[in-house]
Amino acid sequence: MKRNKNDEREHDEHERDERENDKHEHEGHKHVCPPIAEGACVPVSLGSKPKQSRRRKLDNLLANTRVPSALGASFFHLTRRYLAGKKPANVIEQRAFSKLRRLSPELQRVLSCALESFDSLSSGERDRLFTSDLLGNVDQPIEIAQLTQAFVRELVQNVGNQLFNDPGCATEEHPGQVRTPPFPGGEFPPSPVVVFRIKGSANPYFPSTPYAGRV
């Protein structure tokens, strides 16, 4: 029975997917992004079209991100090591690599395409969106303690951003408001503000008090 061109194309694509899936488990590969909407890695639903360009989505993300993501950086670094065929170096990679190996060939391509999109970002854009400390060499895995510290730091920065509109509020020194004691009154009241440090240098004329401040 003679097959039409569509059947032959589907058969060829199926064979190619099977070959890629068989080879991928123990060696790295270069996947090509699927021929879908420009700049996207996930196919659009039938009957619909992208509402925003990739550049516009990225600009919106940059404008609304004040704290770099530790988990996002960890994901892309782990993905890079997996696609490069590296052996898992810790419990996190063991579990993640096991899950990734079970992905279908189509999702394997989406994963690789996502990494290519990540690599296409400028260094400035990556640093604003992802914790740069975790984006090391592909041969260097992220240690669990390293990821934990980065994630805790991200949480603290997010709390500072949400409560005080300043990601560094809880971890960085900032000039405080003037704190004065209850006004004592009298004909010649003392100075209500006691300064004990000016630009990092202690002021010998004013001892440190509960109301002292820095200039």
Q: What is the mean pLDDT of residues 102-110?
A: 92
pLDDT value at 40 more than 60: yes
- The two tokens of residue 142 are 């992220």
Give the pLDDT band (50/70/90) at residue 34. very low
> Is residue 133 within a helix (H) or strand (E), and if so which, with residue range?
none
Give the pLDDT band (50/70/90) at residue 164. confident
Tally of CB atoms within 10 A around 95: 11
pLDDT value at 24 more than 50: no
pLDDT, greater one: 146 or 173: 146
Non-local CB neighbours of 60 within 8 Å, separated by 6+ positions: 52
Euclidean distance between CA atoms 110 and 105, whole angstroms: 9
Amino acid at site 14 = H
Q: What is the pLDDT of residue 167?
A: 86
DSSP 8-class letter at 69: B
- The two tokens of residue 105 are 């060939």
Q: What is the pLDDT of residue 213?
A: 45
Q: What is the pLDDT of residue 57?
A: 84
pLDDT value at 125 more than 90: yes
pLDDT value at 146 more than 90: yes
pLDDT, greater one: 115 or 192: 115
Euclidean distance between CA atoms 18 and 31, whole angstroms: 14
In the sheet where 195-198 sits, what is the strand order? 201-202, 195-198, 213-214
Q: What is the pLDDT of residue 162?
A: 87
